[in-house]
Copies of this chain bind each other. A is one copy, B any other.
Amino acid sequence: MASTRRLAAIFAADVAGYSRLMGADEEGTHERLQAHRRELIDPKISQHKGRIVKNTGDGLLAEFASVVDAVRCAAELQRVMIDREAGMPEDHRIRFRIGINLGDVIVEDSDIFGDGVNVAARLEALAEPGRGCQSSCCPLPISAMIRSSNILRTA
C-alpha cells in the first residue's frame, strides 16, 4: 500500500480530568465542551489555517502547514478559555492541554499517522492544564509569544 507523506505541525488537544468532570456532571460538561468547540476552538483553528483531522471525545487532532500558526492558535485558545471558564468553580473548569510537534506524517485519505502524531499526543499528556507543550523541533522565533501566553517549551 502506497503512503503519501508530508511535513505538518501536529496539534493535539484534550480536556484535563475529563473523566472526572463527566462523572461529576455528564451532560453539563458535555454541553459546555461542545459550546467551546463550536464557538471558540473550531473557528480559531480555521482562522489559523489549521485542519481538524479528527475529534477524540474530549479533544481533537489537527494539523497546520505552519508551526507558528499552530502555536499562535494554541496561545489564543488558552487565553480565551481562561475568560470563558472564569465563572465556574475551580474544580469544575474545563481546561485544555495542548501538544504541538513538527513531524513528517503518513497521510491516508484525510487521516494522519506516524511517530510525529504519537509524539504530539505525548506532549499533550505532559502539558499542564490550561497550557501547552511543544517539541524542541519547533522554530525558536516564537518563544516570546510562547512566554507571553503560557505555552511551554520542552526538550
Contacts and interface: CB of A to CB of B under 8 A. Distances in A.
A106 to B, nearest CB: 6
Nearest to A19: B118
A149 B38 CA distance: 43
Contacts of A27: 3, 106
B54 A115 contact: no
A1 interface: yes
A76 interface: no
Interface of A: 1, 3, 18-19, 22-23, 26-27, 30-31, 34-35, 54-57, 61, 106, 108, 111, 113-115, 117-118, 121-122
Contacts of A57: 61, 111, 113, 117-118, 121
A14 to B, nearest CB: 12
A106 B26 contact: yes
